[in-house]
Amino acid sequence: MALNETIKIRRSPAKMLLLVFGAVAFVLVGIWIGYTAYIEEGPGSFGLFIGIVSVLFFGFCGVVGVVKLLDRRDALQIGPDGLFAPDISPAVIAWTDIRGVRLLEIKKQRMIELVLDVEAHRRLPRSRFGRFLENANRSLGIEGPCIAGSGLDRSVDEIADLIVERVQQAQETPSPTA
C-alpha cells in the first residue's frame, strides 16, 4: 500500500443504530427499576437512586450515539502524514510520533491504544471528548489515546494493521533532513 494514499474509516450506521437502541433499552430498564423502587420503598430508596443514575448515564450514551449516528464525517483518516482521529485530537498524529500499537479488550469492548513518544504525547492537543476519555482510561491503566472499535465500518484488527503498516513505513523512510 502506498504511503501517500489516504484511507477513510467511517462509522457504520447499522452498528451505531444498534448502540442507540441498546442505550434506549437500558434507559427503559432504569425507569422501570426507579419506578418499582419508588412504589415499593418510597422516595430516597437505593433502587430509585440506581434507576435515576441508569437513566442519566444511558440517556447520555444514547444522545452521544445519536450525534455520532448523524455525523457524516470520517471517524478516522489514515493519511500520508499521520493518523487523524477527531475524537482524540483536532491535529494529525504523525506516524513518527507513534511508538507502538496495543490491542485492548475491556469487558468485550475492543480498542486500539496508541503508544506515543513522550514529547509527542505531551504536546498533542486533545478534543474535549478525547480529554474525557483519556482521564477515564487512565483509571484503567491505559496511558495513551485510544480508538474504540465499536461503531466503525472496519474491524479493530484491520485498523490496527493499517496503523502498524504506516508506522513501519514511516520509520523505514529516511527523513528529508537526514
Residue found under cell 504536546: 123
Here the cell at position 12 is 457504520
| 26/65 Cα distance (integer angstroms) | 13
What residue ranges do the domains of the chain occupy?
Answer: 11-70, 76-172
| 170/81 Cα distance (integer angstroms) | 9
Report pLDDT for 36: 95
Report pLDDT for 2: 57
Buried b (16+ CB within 10 A) or exposed e, 51-74: bbebbeebeebbeebbebbeeeeb
Residues 64-103 pLDDT 10s: 889 888 888 888 999 988 999 988 889 999 999 999 898 9
Query: Confidence band (pLDDT; 50, 70, 90) for 5?
Result: confident
Q: What is the pTM of this model?
A: 0.73
